[in-house]
Structure 1
Amino acid sequence: MNYTTRKQAILLLADGTIFHGKSIGISGTTFGEVCFNTGMTGYQEIFTDTSYFGQIMVATNAHIGNYGFNDQEIESDSVKIAGLVCKNFSFNYSRYDASGSLYDYFEKQNLIAISDVDTRALVSYIRDNGAQNAVICTDGTTIQELKLQLANVPDMKGLELASKVSTKEPYFFGNENATYKISALDLGIKKNILRNLAKRDCYIKIFPFDSTFDNLKGFNPDGYFLSNGPGDPEPLFDAIEVAKQIIAENLPLFGICLGHQVIGLANGISTYKMFNGHRGINHPVKNLITGKGEITSQNHGFAVVREELEKNPDLEITHEHLNDGTVAGMRMKSKNCFSVQYHPEASPGPHDSSYLFDDFIDIIQKSKLQEL
């Protein structure tokens, strides 16, 4: 294609606001909830993170595509964002181990993207007006037609999306002769979570999102894991029931992000859709147990209700987000269950919180000793 004669394109928000830019060259329209990520690195991991399914990603970093893409640096089997909005899109790249250009990667997966957008103005607008549905159009469809189509796009609140990204059949990860066996419920699991568990001598069986407790228990695991994922946690009735049964038997249970919210709901704690959510790799969190601070990778648009959690005698808050005081982690006082609202596996992001996987192994070890 001729990169110097790219077509004009638009981003239309649900409230009628329009941002102008240029198509990177892939023609069409794409719909989703518009959100932004403040990370300065790791765009490929972000684009393939299943938690972003159904969302149009606004990159706050001014340069996207400058280091191409690498086949090994993915968090799922395909791009999961609905579309990309950026300031400068680099068709040329510089990296010795790149597998190709980001444009080639997008073209293979037909991902629609718009560049040359005033992303600083756009992010400021989203922060002031909240996350909302939007459409990227690069094919010249009229504004009137786009508004009609956009009006029919469902809101993220109440939207069950885990079924769209979960595995269809169970599969295994790690060394089958590992010391520990883990049953993981796949609500949109990232590959680096599996790598972190395998690195700690775990053999993991990953189950579809609608699996029953008996399915997971049939693997005879030493611990259970509820993964991250997209969408609203409230419609995940099967997963909530699985969490309730694991907790009732006091089996080791660790949840991340959507899994954290599911554990909250299993304990009668409500969740709510945040005005903007947290998406980036520099979010400050305080561990209330140790008093230490952590810089964390986060990606969520829903959260548990802090006031309800504080009134629950069986739960305690273990981590809080220092920007807004939202719950970043919790544990059950008399059960082998804990969870966090952020990503200790990072990818991308800092590794301040990787100790949480060690904590999970410690809980498993103590539980096994109690059985003797």
Structure 2
Amino acid sequence: MTAAPPRSAVLAGIGAYVPPNRVTNAELTTRLDTTDEWIRTRTGIAARHVVGPGTATSDLAVEAGLRALKSAGDDHADAVVLATTTPDRPCPATAPDVAARLGLRGVAAFDVAAVCSGFLYGLATASGMIAAGLADTVLLIAADAFTTIIDPEDRTTAVIFADGAGAVVLRAGRPDEPGAIGPMVLGSDGGLSDLIEVPGGGSRERSGGRPAEEYGRYFRMAGRETYRHAVEHMTSASQRATELAGWPMAAVDRFAAHQANARILSAVAERLEIPAERQLSNIENYGNTGAASLPLLLAQEAQRGRLSAGHRVLLTAFGGGLAWGATTLSWPQLTTS
């Protein structure tokens, strides 16, 4: 009896969406003690897209999901995985609502929370479902309305974070075909969870017996320490992922890192010795969109023609948790819109 060939998750479609409201640095300077030069120098960001009143994470996710399904030439998926830090409600998960609005009632649907590493954690989860035979196709969406948890008066975070969504359709296929997701490298360090956090809103606050305002309802980040750990872990995860894939670093055609901060991106690329022409970036016009960062970047660069069939792509991300990850794939032929 011949053993069944191994199943791998293969990228079959991609899509992205950002809300139409674009906010420039000049607009932020009217209410924050900052300048366009200060923001550009420290973050590399010139503009970002933010949700309008009444727009939630699910709205962004549905739009990106529709585009990914269209790219794949299909309107069905066996499961929907949503990576997000900003669910519509603490309970229930947002994914079932997104699935229903996409016409996918009855399928498995759940959220994954790994902050800015959410897309890679979701990719590992979806790939595992396909490898185990639990699903033949999975719609993975990463969406964040990150500005809804940012203090609008805090210039250290208000200038960085933005809103958006990206999505991919994964199908069962062979590990040797274009688009097959390569070895996954994931890691975390909960001992440093207070470097990136929203202290209030969870069971710690609700059971603490202290006023809610003492915990803080807004996102906060220890910038200097976060920078150091982001560079260290994205570099080491990238090195391990390429090693497992059997690639020398010089074989990487395109490097796609979570769009956290231009200085972080430059530091990681420099350590990996990846030249500027092989680096993908959209941070200047889209900022840090949390979990949505990687799929949004990939969708846009594929549409622009900077990411083409056959390119060997290295992906990496870092976020709260602390959590980080990396993986590889050979870019397939995709329809983008």
TM superposition score normalised by structure 1 = 0.27
* Higher RCO, Cα 8 Å, sep 6+: 2
Larger Rg: 1
Structure with the bigger percentage of strand: 1
- Structure with greater helix share of residues: 2
Q: TM-score when scaled to structure 2?
A: 0.29
